Structure 1
Amino acid sequence: MADDAPEEAPKKGKLKLILLLTVVVVLAIGLSIAGTLWFLKDQAPEAANGDDAETPEVEFQPSQYTVLEKSLVTTVQAEGRQRYAQVYVAFEADNAETLAATELHMPLLRSQLINVLASSDFLVLQTPEGRAGLAEDMLATVNETLAQEGEQPLKRVLLRNFVLQ
């Protein structure tokens, strides 16, 4: 009988270990499912309500570009000295028709862009904010000119290269 007692103790220990591992595995699976449902809860109501049918899908349309091969060179305003600015630009648009319009009206657009550059201040153009402002002024001028010609506006004017002297 003394031999029977030690055999029961290891069986109880193994049974407790198996029971504990089973509970841990069940809890892990339950938490995994709960976590997945919690992360997906924002997407589930939209699909259930049919909101996708009401929301129009916006198709991605990549931008298109036209690069002005010749630079814009002019003198700029400076304190008592003659300074020069040389800028290479590109136009960004959503469609090819707008870029075709810029090609058609390029002499007028180049003239307007040179006027914008010439009226800029040399000290302001030396700062990043000044160059960003120049690009915005050029965009406004080009879009105004295109609007006068009955064309669609550009998305951006990009400064490809910028030199001050």
Structure 2
Amino acid sequence: MAKKEQTPSLPDGQAPGKGKLKLIIIIALAFLLAVGASVGGTWFFLHKNAKPEEAEAKAAEHAEPTKKQAVYEILAPSFVVNFNQNGRQRYLQVAVALMGRDQAQMDALREQMPLVRNQLVMLFSSQNFDTLVTPVGKEMLRQQATSSLQELAKKATGQLTVEQVLFTNFVLQ
């Protein structure tokens, strides 16, 4: 007796595996619908209590305050400092500009210019010539000059007058 192979009876000519594909697609769509509903619900409940005025106030708080236009004070004449390196005379010539945001404060600092120049001369002359040759050394000197003058300006005017010290000319010889 020969056994007959039984073929599964599929309705209307469907290929095997089509039923599983439909099931996977339905499950994926249901999952995406559930994720979308949870995200939408969370957003709705978190933002439903916020009033438009409060939202504008929060936006205004987080908005970056507008900075005043920069005011520059150029210190003339340039600073010249000498170094003794390995028995040779070396020189540093540096032109300095101070950057601030308030003209009245910069005018008040201008009255203290002998103190400012003295502070910078002492700072420049205390440096090591070999470190000033590198870009990192120059940047470190600029940052030291900035912090030094900020302290001096804070004592003299009571406010943080100098935002940055800028080197407009830097010559090592």
Q: Is the 8 A contact 2:82 2:90 kept in 1?
A: yes
In structure 2, the CA distance between the partners of 1:148 and 1:84, relative to structure 1 (3 Å rule), is same
Give the unaligned 5+ runs of structure 2: 1-46
Is residue 2:60 matched to residue 1:53? no
Is residue 2:88 matched to residue 1:81? yes
Deviation at 1:98, TM superposition (A): 2.4
Q: Is the 8 A contact 1:69 1:88 kept in 2?
A: yes
Q: Give the aligned length.
A: 120
Q: Is the 8 A contact 1:77 1:119 kept in 2?
A: no
Which residue of structure 2 aligns with residue 130 of structure 1?
137
Radius of gyration: which is bigger?
A: 2
What percentage of residue pairs aligned between the two structures are identical? Answer: 32
Query: Any idea what SS the aligned residue of 1:159 has?
Result: strand
What does residue range 1-165 of structure 1 map to in structure 2 within 5 Å?
Answer: 49-50=52-53, 51-54=55-58, 55-56=60-61, 57=63, 58-76=65-83, 78-153=85-160, 154-165=162-173
Query: Any idea what SS the aligned residue of 2:85 has?
Result: coil
* CA distance in structure 1 between the aligned counterparts of 2:80 and 2:154, rounded to whole angstroms: 25
TM-score, normalised via structure 1 length: 0.65
1:91-149 CA-to-partner distances (Å, cap 9, x unmatched) read 00121122112211111110110110000111111111111111111111111112222
In proportion to residue count, which structure has more helix? 1
Give the unaligned 5+ runs of structure 1: 1-44
In structure 2, the CA distance between the partners of 1:79 and 1:144, relative to structure 1 (3 Å rule), is farther
* CA distance in structure 2 between the aligned counterparts of 1:94 and 1:115, rounded to whole angstroms: 26
Deviation at 1:88, TM superposition (A): 0.2
Q: Which moved more, 1:52-61 or 1:94-103?
A: 52-61
Q: State the one-letter code of the partner of 1:91.
A: L
TM-score, normalised via structure 2 length: 0.62
CA RMSD of superposed structures (Å): 2.0
Q: Is the 8 A contact 1:76 1:83 kept in 2?
A: yes
* CA distance in structure 2 between the aligned counterparts of 1:48 and 1:63, rounded to whole angstroms: 38
